């Protein structure tokens, strides 16, 4: 079986696949324009966030049997269409869960203690000790929207820090250390709201002006899930009005953004979609990609 690895993947994982008898080529810089000429020669491909596998590309790849997305979610792949063509589509949903959860928790601490602003003033040689009275996150209520693999990891850590954890997820019936409630309950009761769900037709723009209107004044928002779940204009207005005290964003509707006004707000901290970017997560993602492709090859 011939596999094309289109995005950066751990060397150990690639060697493991080769030792198992797979023919593996790598092209971490392959462009969308090059893919239609190259991918038809392969039976499988490995992608991350950078490479998109859409219907027109699938249509010119008659030999393609399997697509593996190293990471959470399948929004970069037209997965249903691929499956309708007999192509197996897989991802690695658990490999990066701990890393994303730690980023979300870290962001909560940064928002609670204004750490970004405090650090910036120090770099400007200012000693503004009285300007940075913060809050403890212990004793506060965290509302999770989505309680899948990552949401559960966040809940575990938040509970250990003394937070009360509420969660809304229509696909989950029970979760440890979490009280499952309605979305309106999360919006009304949470001091912090953290999103952990895929972007789908149902979840696109699910947090907009009406939802911000139901939140507590001074709520803080964390999004390490997907851009486009929160309506960015509505978030901008909630942040500038003071309804939302602060937001921490690892994801945006467009990546990189073409409109930077949200990222430039003083009460916003942000990062360039780095939730899974830890050495540990990358190692686990690569290992799981290799295991899934080796198993697939054995069974075909």
Q: Supply the pLDDT for residue 110.
A: 97
The answer, as to whether pTM is greater than 0.75, is yes
Q: Supply the pLDDT for residue 75.
A: 83
Q: What mean pLDDT, rounded, does the chain reach?
A: 95
Q: Where are the domains of the chain?
A: 2-95+279-298, 97-270
Q: Tell whether the model's pLDDT for residue 49 goes beyond 90.
A: no
| Superfamily (CATH H level) for 2-95+279-298 | NAD(P)-binding Rossmann-like Domain (3.40.50.720)
Class of domain 97-270: alpha beta
The yes-or-no answer on residue 50 being catalytic is no
Q: Tell whether the model's pLDDT for residue 203 goes beyond 90.
A: yes
The yes-or-no answer on residue 255 being catalytic is yes
Q: Tell whether the model's pLDDT for residue 2 goes beyond 90.
A: yes
Mean pLDDT across 111-117: 95
Q: Tell whether the model's pLDDT for residue 197 goes beyond 90.
A: yes
* pLDDT tens digits, 157-171: 999 999 999 999 999
Fold match flag (2-95+279-298 vs 97-270): yes
Mean pLDDT across 132-148: 96
pLDDT > 90: percent of the chain:
93
Residue of 255, 266, 280, 295 marked active site: 255
Q: Supply the pLDDT for residue 82.
A: 97
Q: Supply the pLDDT for residue 177.
A: 82
Q: Tell whether the model's pLDDT for residue 174 goes beyond 90.
A: no
Residue of 153, 226, 232, 288 marked active site: 226
The residue behind tokens 């990066």 is 96
Q: Supply the pLDDT for residue 74.
A: 87
């Amino acid at each position: 079986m011939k596999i094309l690895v289109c995005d950066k993947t751990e060397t150990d994982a690639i060697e493991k696949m080769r030792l198992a008898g797979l023919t593996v080529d790598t092209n971490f810089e392959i462009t969308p324009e090059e893919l239609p000429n190259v991918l038809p020669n392969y039976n499988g491909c490995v992608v991350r966030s950078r490479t998109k596998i859409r219907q027109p590309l699938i249509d010119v790849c008659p030999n393609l049997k399997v697509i593996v997305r190293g990471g959470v979610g399948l929004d970069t792949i037209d997965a249903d269409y691929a499956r309708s063509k007999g192509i197996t589509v897989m991802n690695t949903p658990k490999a990066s869960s701990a890393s994303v959860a730690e980023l979300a928790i870290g962001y909560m601490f940064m928002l609670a203690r204004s750490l970004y602003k405090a650090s910036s003033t120090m770099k400007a040689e200012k000693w503004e000790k009285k300007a940075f009275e913060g809050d403890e996150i212990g004793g506060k209520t965290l509302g999770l929207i989505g309680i899948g693999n990552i949401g559960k990891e966040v809940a575990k850590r938040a509970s250990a820090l003394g937070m009360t954890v509420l969660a809304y997820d229509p696909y989950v019936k029970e979760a440890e250390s979490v009280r499952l409630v309605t979305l309106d309950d999360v919006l009304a009761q949470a001091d912090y709201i953290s999103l952990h769900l895929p972007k789908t037709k149902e979840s696109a723009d699910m947090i907009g002006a009406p939802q911000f209107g139901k939140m507590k004044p001074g709520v803080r928002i964390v999004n390490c899930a997907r851009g486009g779940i929160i309506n960015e204009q509505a978030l901008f207005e909630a942040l500038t009005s003071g309804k939302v005290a602060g937001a921490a964003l690892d994801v945006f509707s467009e990546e990189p953004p073409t409109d930077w006004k949200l990222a430039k707000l003083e009460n916003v901290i942000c990062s360039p979609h780095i939730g899974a970017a830890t050495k540990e997560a990358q190692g686990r993602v690569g290992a799981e990609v290799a295991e899934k492709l080796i198993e697939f090859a054995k069974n075909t």
